[in-house]
Amino acid sequence: MAVNDNDMELLHEYVDGELPVAECEGLWRRLAIERDLMGELDRLRTDHAARTMVWNSLEPDESTVARLEAKIMRATRREDLMSWGSNILRIVASAAALILFGFTVGWMGRDRYTGVPIVAHPSQGGSAIATTDVGGSSAAIKYNVEFFDRNGKLLNIQQFNSKEEAEQFKHDFDAAQASPAGSDWNVVPTINKF
Amino acid sequence: MSMEENGRQPAAAESTNELFERAVRLHSRRLLAIARAIVGNRASPEDVVQQAFMNLYQHRDRYDWREAGGLMRRTVVNEALRILRQPRMSVLADDQGDPSPSQSPSRHMLEGEAVLQVRRAIDRLPENFRAALVLCEYEKLSYAQIAETLDASIPQVKTWIHRGRRQLAEMLRAYADQT
């Protein structure tokens, strides 16, 4: 009796140990009486044995295994080193970016004066007297010479690094206002700490 | 020896790297054989296994390395199949495997020839047939485990195994008829 595809599938599963126990018992009974079925099972087992020889021949020798393991360990060390290096690089780049940002903000704000805005002298109608921080220093205390009109309105501010400089400037200004050229200025200079 | 751990419990303080290295030493021999069975002489099985291990190493913190056999096997099989699906590579040199010292030279030659013929026939099978067969007959996995490794269904795995065996039988019968 020829062996059909269903029977072949049974035999394959039986050889692979995948046939349920109940079906195995039925198969054993058939194998006892069906010679063709038994013949196919023998062929399957013979082919299986030949392939097992092939699978076993594919196993590597000790030196191949050792060589592969050494390569893998070297590659993992290299991977660890590269990962550590890129982390360091990332930290350094972030720090450099922060420093550059801080420097840029500081540089852009270096001349910015946080006091009263500069305005023109109303009687002059022209540009304001020089108003920059002449020293550009980071001295904790500065001295302002503040100019008010007769109504108490703040017109302008001149900043100095020392009280002596501020007093000298006020003295010079007073002398200039007292001269004929400054007779119509009507400005009151006052020295204050900043 | 199967892919199961040998029962030794790892020390509590072993790091991930130490566990990974231990898994490599435990499984690399069998995984090399599996890779060789799947890629044949189309690629280097050592490169397949090394690449698969490095892929796992780069994400090593995700996995439990105390029982990594199934994970490593799945990764090696996927890497082998991925390489086979790339544009065709040049064929590497064929080898007949290591001789058994207890055999006579003529017996070795006969068996070597038979093994070579079967290997060549296996090498001509479609890659999925080859992968399913080696996992079934060499790794002794169940159909369900093979299906999980190959990301296929159990009926698909059964088809691959049964048709692979039938094609091999036909190829070897044709060879036997010629000799």
CATH code for the domain defined by B97-179: 1.10.10.10
Residue A52 Cα, gap to closest chain B Cα (Å): 7
> Given this model, what pLDDT does residue B13 score?
66
User: Quick one: average pLDDT of B91-110?
Assistant: 48
Interface test with A, best of B1, B2, B22, B24 (most A CBs within 10 A): B24
Q: Which chain A positions have a beta carbon within 8 Å of B115's beta carbon?
A: 53-54, 57
Q: Average model confidence (pLDDT) for chain B?
A: 83
Helix (H) or strand (E) holding A192: strand A188-193
CB B175 within 8 A of CB B167: no
- Mean pLDDT throughout B90-109? 48
Domain coordinates of chain A in residue numbers? 5-57, 61-110, 112-194
Task: Please list every residue in chain A whose beta carbon sits closer than 8 Å to the beta carbon of residue B136.
Answer: 16
Percent of chain B with pLDDT over 70: 78
Q: Which two tokens stand for residue B33?
A: 């054989």
Spatial contact of A159 and A142, defined as CB atoms under 8 Å apart: yes
**Predicted pLDDT at A108:** 65
Could you report the per-residue pLDDT of A73-127, keeping only the tens digit for each?
A: 999 999 888 888 888 888 888 888 888 877 776 776 566 544 444 444 444 444 4
- The pLDDT assigned to B86 comes to 83
Instruction: Kindly report, residue by residue over B35-56, the tens digit of the pLDDT.
Output: 999 998 889 999 999 999 999 9
Q: Give B50's contacts in chain A (Cβ within 8 Å).
A: 68, 71-72, 75
Query: How close A95 comes to chain B (CA, Å)?
Result: 27
Coil vs helix vs strand at B38: helix
Residue B97 has pLDDT above 50, yes or no: no
